[in-house]
Structure 1
Amino acid sequence: MTFQQFAFNNVMRNKRIYMGHFFSSTFAVMIFFTYGLISFHPNLQGELTSISTTMNTLGKIGFQVSQYLTFFFSFFFILYSVSAFLKTRKKEFGILMIHGMSHRQLNKLIFMENMLIGFFSIVTGIGIGLIFSKLILLISASILAINNGLSFYVPTKAMGLTGISFFVLFLLISLFTSRMVKVNELVELLKAEEKPKPEPKASIWLALLSIISISVGYAAVFHLSVGKDYMTSNQLLMLIGGGVVLVVIGTYFLFTQLSVYVMHALKKNEHTFFKKTNLLTISELIYRLRDNAKTFFIVAIISAVAFTAIGICAAMANAGWGERMSPYAFQYESYAGNPLEKQHISEIKQQLDDAHFQYTLVSPKFITTANGRTLIKLTDYNEYAKKFGYKTETLQHETDSLVILPKGLKPQEFAKLAAEKNIELNHGNVKVTLQIIKRAEVQELKGYYDSKIVVNDSIYNQVISQKLSEEYMVRPEVTEYGFIIKDWQKTLDVSKTLLKIIKPNSNDVNTPYSFSSLSFNWIEMKQQNGLLSIMTVLVGIVFFIFATSFLYFRLFTDFDRDHQQYSMIGKIGLSKNELKKIVTKQMMLLFFLPILVAMIHSSVAFAAVQYVAKFSNGGQDISVVKSSIIVLTSFLCMQIIYFFIIRSNYIDQLYKAMYQIEKSE
């Protein structure tokens, strides 16, 4: 048998331990390949779509950053997993050295084993990526709202970049890990597994600190909803940053101190501790929680970041965020003296009629006074209100007025405007004090930070008749044409045609009109969030797989000790059903405790974002929580499936090992 065959047989003999490492590495390779598959696609080398010329550049930068993140975390994950395996094989290495293996040969053996696993991970990962490449492109095209889709192609660049990158990664890790085993004394290696572990201890003060830190961190995040009313942007960022730091610190001490302290408390409770098999379960969990505390901490924090990012990106792709921008499918603002007004409005109507869209047209006129008041005359308002189903109003006295308060105000500003009883108008020779008789809740007329005042036609006509000098810099009267369409998401083709005809120039302040399309803006926003979603989902899944693999490694690295321990206990009466219950309870805590903590952290973040989103949208419900529940439920289901698969495999392996011990005796 050659040395290469010996290395291969070593990998196969330890396949139970290496299996999780192999599959996780394969998955990381596949995700890295997926980024390359999308970013190198021929259809994405120019513009992402005809909507935005900058989206492709932003997309490429985002995919590259995501690739770097995947590569970076893959390096440390694989390095960690390999070092964990080496620790469990110290006794094996000691036996090999007793039989004459040199230090150099041992390093060579470890190097070859790692490169073998790396090679097969690269080939398998790229192969699986190629098999599912068509499905990946179909899903990506749907998320990015690309109507023509992304055609299949042979991704040679993605294959080359993935193969070279991960070959270098595994080469570096193999060089590192082959020198990790320092064998000074054979006796130390042979007795590495026999060293007793000291009983873990926990500080009550650090345990309390974990609760206080997390509570204060949550309070800081929730205070965002109040703090934004009086704090500056920098202060808000410091508030959020401080809250996140406190939650991270609290989470670390939760796993290293509080969890162990709770187990010790249960151990001291004789009624609980001596009930059925709790003695074995609790005693073992004290050691497992302390040994895995840092792993749990990393899993919880990374998972919380991934869950939060994915949930928010998924919510922002909702159509409600598009409706937040405007109630109109098409909005055309025409300033007084615009020579193209009739032509453009006629063209919009013609295009909608040709595409068989039913629409409602509103065209209120507004004028802004010299002292910054935006006015709309009563007849325009009542016509507008009828079309939207609101109650029409009357103004009995000439100086009566109706105010529509804006959205997006801080509570103090809102209260100040709501308390006003009179409004001063100052526009040229027109100096009038208006009396507010009512405040109307017309969502469609609510602008951001700009109250609209409904006045009698006579007052409006007096204001518009004034000719002010250019020094006042007052905008002329504007007519706002709004086309209300129920299925506005389907108007993208019409939008593209109209944008070519009307060609609004937002850079020219002298342009007498402006035109915008809700579907156009929503699709662009959806594509931006689609890119974020693809990146965050893929990175989030990689983190999640790595996190669950950490748990797999920790479980199976203690396997030899576990089956010997349970075999000895089995001789004094522990049944297989009791063994299964003990193992299941321990595994449930190990697999679900960090994920549960991550979900609680994410839920707090979602609740805060939901409140801020709702308030900034004028009280309309933009559901962040709904999308977040879907994300959290999906990951929880994945974890449950993974748990049952690993549990079944672990118990089967445990039974086989215990049976072999009994048979040998």
Structure 2
Amino acid sequence: MTFNQVVWKMAKVNYKKYIFYYLCNSFAVMFFFMFSTVYFNRRVEQGKKLESLQDALSIPGAALIIFTIFFISYAHNVFMKKRKSEFGLFMTLGMARRDLSMLLILENAAIAILSILSGLLAGAIFSRLFFMLLMSLIEMGEVPFHFNAKMFFYSIGAFLVVFILAVGKSLFQTMRSSLITSMKSNRYADTIKMRSPLIGGFGLLLMAGSLLILYFTYESSNGAYLPLWTLAMLLGLYISLNQSASFLIKLVKKFPRFYYRRLLFLSSLDYKFKQLTSIIMLVTVMIMITIFYSTLLLTFYKASEKNAVTNNPYDVAFYQSETKNTISDGELNELFGKKKHLEIPILNYYEKLEYVDGYQTYDIMSVDDLNKLISSQVKLGKNEYLFYLNSEPEYAHTDIAESIKLTINNEAITYTLKDQVIERTINLLPNAYEFIVVNQDEFDFLRNEVKGYELNLNLINVGDWKESESAVEGLEEKLKLNNQSTPPMDYPDLEHTAESELFRVASKIGDYHQNKTTNGMMFYVTTFLSIMFFFGTFFLLFLNLFSEVETEKLKYWKLNKIGMSSKEIKQNVSRELGTIFFAPTVLGTTLAFLYLVILSTDVGGIMKNPDILMHFLQIAGIYLVIQVGSFFYARKKMLLQLIN
């Protein structure tokens, strides 16, 4: 028998190792490609520029890359762990390390090529099916599905970078390993270097303390310390997972009868939790991110209509100047038919700052016009002003000057603050947030004497805003054409606000479609990644558990020889698997809920936002049901392996 025949026969005998390794890598390629079909979709790329989807895609994209790096590396390590004893045998037969390296390169090259081909094929099929299904559910049929070169290039490139690094590490270790170490590799057990209940308790305190501090400081600090305390929480979580079993055993030992009846389970659990700390940590964090992110985005998507109405008290609103957004009342009637139309004169006054390069701008309104907008009636005297903030009171954070000084005809005139009004009555438009309100006589005086821009704020209500889409689009098109035919404005604040933005149309229907598209796309991406993360975490746990199946089989065979029954073996296996499967699920779900509670403090608390709680329960419930199904599947496969 030739040397090549020996290698080929050993490969055929251990074909399951190759198949499982190939499936893991193919799965990773499919991950990358399915995400790229979303990230490089033409409609989504437009949204990243126009609708601030960049962060929504970058955060889960980074999580996917980190997860896939760990996934490929771990799958490769498990594969190589089983091959080391074979390499030792090849070395005894005379194979040089250089030949082993060549064999390793050829094997992995073949697996990489097959994984790329099958992964791209599976990704193309499943991404198309998933895209069609979810787009129909979130009613976004206008987003087209397509392939382009970027999707294939970045998917293959990302996979090969991670794969080559993992193979390079194995080559380096193979070149340095001795013959004896390779031959005995499958006889070595992972050593547990430290068992410290005290450190485990410290980890729990660090995790709980970080969450409590974050809860009490989040609102006052506007989330400034969120990254810091999240890192502290993750550190505490890692320490807790690594030493939790030791901490639990320390507590349980106080109840000898309970402890000795479960001695095998507790000691085995202590070993497995230390062995699988990194995997359980990764699975826990992925579950936390999945449930937390999905809950928030589902809430945002469901609230698209509510937010459009809240942010736009009037159905349509836009600014009009002498040369920009010029449109007659007759043209508006042609577009909207029967309507209620309110025009509010606004004086946009600006003064050059003395010591810095820039302008101080004021948007000035008369008190008579303000009284048309707000729920109360206000009166102002000479040289008095009212500060009007167009915002919801609970979100308003501002410092108001007791007086303001305006330079008019080289003379300083001081206006004293009389009162303030904080109420959302105007659509979200540039220069429609803070207003200086004076009485009608003062407003007329300022309009005649100061240098500034006179704007008309047009506020329109129609019969049914949901039926106004074509009318709003016609208005936007007409205003755009008119504005293109007039010269640009000499407006000092255009350095910060583009002219097209200043004179845009703010409408309920426009905001509704924008929110629905943006939040729907974000929810689609999150749901898509959630499903991939779930299967990925299941594969990680499944891969680790079944990579040690021979060791577990030998352990339970010996226990059976000294009197352990098959029923007791099944009970012990079920307890171990149940703990490993559900501990990350419970921890991740709990952490996701706590972070939702923390972030909800900024909007009145989670109890004042029942939608968030309801969506969390729905998503967590679905995740738990799927996890239960995967647990019973893994349990059945494990018991078949061990009992047989």
- Aligned match of 2:108: 114
In 1, distance between residues paired with 2:71 and 2:220? Answer: 39
- Aligned match of 1:233: none
2:639 aligned with 1:645: no
- Aligned match of 2:167: 174
CA contact (8 A) 1:141 1:150 kept: no
3-state SS in 1 of match to 2:461: strand
Residues 405 and 74 of structure 1: CA distance in aligned 2, closer, same or farther (over 3 Å) = closer
2:573 aligned with 1:586: no
Residues 17 and 315 of structure 1: CA distance in aligned 2, closer, same or farther (over 3 Å) = farther
Residues 251 and 519 of structure 1: CA distance in aligned 2, closer, same or farther (over 3 Å) = same
Which residue of 587, 593, 611 maps to 1:603? Answer: 593
In 1, distance between residues paired with 2:156 and 2:4? Answer: 22
Q: CA deviation at 1:516?
A: 1.9
Residues 394 and 124 of structure 1: CA distance in aligned 2, closer, same or farther (over 3 Å) = closer
2:477 aligned with 1:500: yes
In 2, distance between residues paired with 1:352 and 1:164? Answer: 53
Which residue of 191, 198, 215 maps to 1:222? Answer: 215
Q: CA deviation at 1:212?
A: 2.8
2:460 aligned with 1:482: yes
- Aligned match of 1:24: 24
Residues 312 and 16 of structure 1: CA distance in aligned 2, closer, same or farther (over 3 Å) = farther
3-state SS in 2 of match to 1:327: coil
CA contact (8 A) 2:308 2:508 kept: yes
Q: Give % identity.
A: 17
CA contact (8 A) 1:7 1:113 kept: no
Q: CA deviation at 1:147?
A: 5.1
Q: CA deviation at 1:243?
A: 0.9
Q: CA deviation at 1:219?
A: 2.8
- Aligned match of 2:308: 322
Q: Deviations over 1:428-486 (max 9, x none)?
A: 999999998xx999754698864898xxxxx955455435454475x657444132665
- Aligned match of 1:560: 550
Which residue of 265, 279, 284 maps to 1:281? Answer: 265
The one-letter code of the counterpart of 1:500 is: E
Mapping 1:612-623, distance limit 5 Å: 612-613=602-603, 623=611
**Structure 1: gaps spanning 5 or more residues:** 230-235, 354-358, 386-391, 454-458, 657-665
Residues 450 and 219 of structure 1: CA distance in aligned 2, closer, same or farther (over 3 Å) = farther
CA contact (8 A) 1:213 1:250 kept: yes
Residues 25 and 199 of structure 1: CA distance in aligned 2, closer, same or farther (over 3 Å) = closer
Mapping 1:94-109, distance limit 5 Å: 94-109=88-103
CA contact (8 A) 1:207 1:261 kept: yes
Q: CA deviation at 1:586?
A: 0.8
Q: CA deviation at 1:342?
A: 6.3
Q: How many matched pairs?
A: 609
The one-letter code of the counterpart of 1:363 is: L
Segment of structure 1 superposing worse, 644-653 or 156-165: 156-165
Q: CA deviation at 1:284?
A: 0.8
Which residue of 431, 442, 445 maps to 1:466? Answer: 445
Q: Deviations over 1:42-71 (max 9, x none)?
A: x659x84xxx79449x87999799778756
- Aligned match of 2:296: 312
TM-score by length of 1: 0.74
Mapping 1:421-440, distance limit 5 Å: none
Residues 79 and 339 of structure 1: CA distance in aligned 2, closer, same or farther (over 3 Å) = closer
- Aligned match of 1:150: 144
2:317 aligned with 1:331: yes
- Aligned match of 1:123: 117
Q: CA deviation at 1:287?
A: 0.7
2:76 aligned with 1:82: yes
Residues 252 and 328 of structure 1: CA distance in aligned 2, closer, same or farther (over 3 Å) = same
3-state SS in 2 of match to 1:574: coil
Residues 424 and 59 of structure 1: CA distance in aligned 2, closer, same or farther (over 3 Å) = closer
In 2, distance between residues paired with 1:377 and 1:132? Answer: 61
CA contact (8 A) 2:196 2:246 kept: no
The one-letter code of the counterpart of 2:209 is: V
Q: Deviations over 1:231-260 (max 9, x none)?
A: xxxxx53x2222112112111211122343
**Structure 2: gaps spanning 5 or more residues:** 350-361, 492-498
Q: CA deviation at 1:501?
A: 0.9
The one-letter code of the counterpart of 2:68 is: S
3-state SS in 2 of match to 1:363: strand
In 2, distance between residues paired with 1:523 and 1:628? Answer: 25
Segment of structure 1 superposing worse, 590-599 or 241-250: 590-599
Residues 204 and 156 of structure 1: CA distance in aligned 2, closer, same or farther (over 3 Å) = closer
Residues 11 and 536 of structure 1: CA distance in aligned 2, closer, same or farther (over 3 Å) = farther
Q: CA deviation at 1:172?
A: 5.1
In 2, distance between residues paired with 1:493 and 1:142? Answer: 23
Q: CA deviation at 1:282?
A: 1.0
Mapping 1:357-376, distance limit 5 Å: 361=340, 363=342, 365=344, 375-376=366-367
In 2, distance between residues paired with 1:68 and 1:479? Answer: 43
Mapping 1:238-257, distance limit 5 Å: 239-257=225-243
CA contact (8 A) 1:365 1:480 kept: yes
Residues 315 and 395 of structure 1: CA distance in aligned 2, closer, same or farther (over 3 Å) = closer
Which residue of 284, 301, 311 maps to 1:300? Answer: 284
- Aligned match of 1:456: none
CA contact (8 A) 2:390 2:423 kept: no
In 1, distance between residues paired with 2:514 and 2:5? Answer: 56
CA contact (8 A) 1:207 1:254 kept: yes
In 2, distance between residues paired with 1:226 and 1:305? Answer: 21
3-state SS in 1 of match to 2:173: coil
Residues 116 and 577 of structure 1: CA distance in aligned 2, closer, same or farther (over 3 Å) = farther
Q: CA deviation at 1:98?
A: 4.2
In 1, distance between residues paired with 2:332 and 2:563? Answer: 84
3-state SS in 2 of match to 1:481: strand
Q: Deviations over 1:374-417 (max 9, x none)?
A: 55549964xx78xxxxxx87899999x99987545679969x99
In 1, distance between residues paired with 2:69 and 2:243? Answer: 29
The one-letter code of the counterpart of 1:243 is: W
CA contact (8 A) 2:348 2:455 kept: no
TM-score by length of 2: 0.76
CA contact (8 A) 2:73 2:163 kept: no
In 1, distance between residues paired with 2:343 and 2:619? Answer: 43
Structural RMSD (CA): 5.0
Segment of structure 1 superposing worse, 244-253 or 422-431: 422-431
CA contact (8 A) 2:344 2:369 kept: no
- Aligned match of 2:199: 206
Residues 63 and 196 of structure 1: CA distance in aligned 2, closer, same or farther (over 3 Å) = closer
- Aligned match of 1:33: 33
